[in-house]
Amino acid sequence: MREGVALFTSGKGGAGKTPFALLLSILLRRMGLNVLTIDYNSLNPDLYEIFKRFLVEKPELITHVDGERLPYPLVMTECTVSGGGKLWSVARVGKYRYIPYPPYAIFDTIIKLKRYLKEPFFAVVDTNLNIPAFNISLNEAFEASKGILDEFKKVYFFHIWSPGSFRKGATSISSSIEVSEIEQIRSTIMNYTQRHVDLFGREGENIIHIITPRLFEEMKPDSLGARLKFILKRLFGREPDVSMMPIMGITKAISSDLYSALGMAYERSLRLLRIRDLLLIREKFNEVANQLMSTYKNFAVEANPIDVEVVFFLFMAKELYDEATNTLPLNAIMVPFMVKKLVNFIDSMLMSNILDEESILEREGPVAKLFELWISKVLLSNKI
């Protein structure tokens, strides 16, 4: 695979789209692919600003390609890197950078940039969108989607989940006119498949689900509070133990044994997480959450926010990791903890005048190892 498109989406702001997009861009480039990063986040267009800190030539202004106007004027820089593939970083210009945009404009932009560069590349797009934002019944949207699939064949949506967005619509005051984010995603998939456009796959198999508790350290189930232990005992049938599933043994150092075990989990796997599976998992999660709320009425309000994150992550790990076959779904990436000091990660990148890939990967730590493993075992192996 030399070409493809990865769009980062989430139903919640601050979920980690930019750090993950940054990581994927660097790893793919170091593996020999040309990478084009596109910052289409109209709220916080930081991905381009970070790559601009790399040593670059003078930024280039692009308004037309082959006489055709781009949806928005763009600025492009070619980053100075050694070894591996090339790296270009693109963002909308000035006053256009913070203007909302139709999602399908991303596809038109990528297609035109491919003609402009005349080189193969893997596009990594940072957005402030969720998947239902693409649920647009306009001919322009479907034509743009067909165009991107014809040009690149492989289009993936890296969707980062959080406990709140996963549970949306599950409260006692929900009405019949409210639907959860997962149901909206299903509606979006159906909208495209009914028009024979497999933008997300026929059953959502082109969506890569990133599950992370956004913690900054190794999880230690033996140190969790009594209330959390109670619900996890209900969830697992016994108190959680790191040895219960290999993925929970990941530390900042990542042992070679565990790295090998996770590699085998993807190599052996033929499973894909489909939207119907996610709907069933959500029902189970709401049962667990409701048990917790009925036992401790104000749990979510009074508890350490980390408790909520841990409940969600352990639940998803239990549902997605098959202990019988030691496999994970090919389109699920489990990240037990996020980039160190995530809350300051982007700010620290923006403060520096000069950055390099090594320093960023070192900061990303074990998250980089996990992404590298998934890229090599799944993405570049054409397993999905």
Residue 28 placed within a domain: yes
Residue 25 placed within a domain: yes
Sequence-distant (≥ 6) Cβ neighbours of residue 365 within 8 angstroms = 252, 339, 340
**Beta-bridge partner residues of 41:** none
Residue 219 placed within a domain: yes
Residue 322 placed within a domain: yes
Q: What pLDDT score was predicted for residue 302?
A: 65
Round to whole Å and give the CA distance between 267 and 272: 13
Q: What pLDDT score was predicted for residue 361?
A: 85
Please answer whether residues 53 and 353 qualify as being in contact, where contact means their C-beta atoms are separated by less than 8 angstroms.
yes
- Cα distances (Å, whole numbers) of residue 2 to 33, 85, 121, 123, 154: 6, 10, 6, 10, 10
Query: How many CB atoms are located within 10 Å of the residue 137 CB?
Result: 8
Domain extent for 57: 4-379
Q: How many domains does the chain have?
A: 1
Residue 384 placed within a domain: no
Q: What pLDDT score was predicted for residue 242?
A: 42
Residue 118 placed within a domain: yes
Q: What pLDDT score was predicted for residue 260?
A: 80
Tens-level pLDDT at each residue, the chain (384 residues): 689 999 999 988 878 899 899 999 999 999 999 999 999 988 888 899 889 888 777 889 999 999 999 989 999 999 988 889 999 999 999 888 888 889 999 999 999 999 999 999 999 999 999 999 999 999 999 999 999 999 998 999 999 998 888 887 655 555 666 788 999 999 999 999 999 999 999 999 999 999 987 665 555 555 555 655 666 666 666 665 544 444 455 444 456 666 787 888 899 999 999 999 999 999 988 887 777 777 766 666 666 666 777 778 878 888 898 888 889 999 999 887 665 545 567 777 788 777 888 888 887 777 888 889 999 999 999 999
Q: What pLDDT score was predicted for residue 243?
A: 43
Residue 216 placed within a domain: yes
Q: What pLDDT score was predicted for residue 250?
A: 47
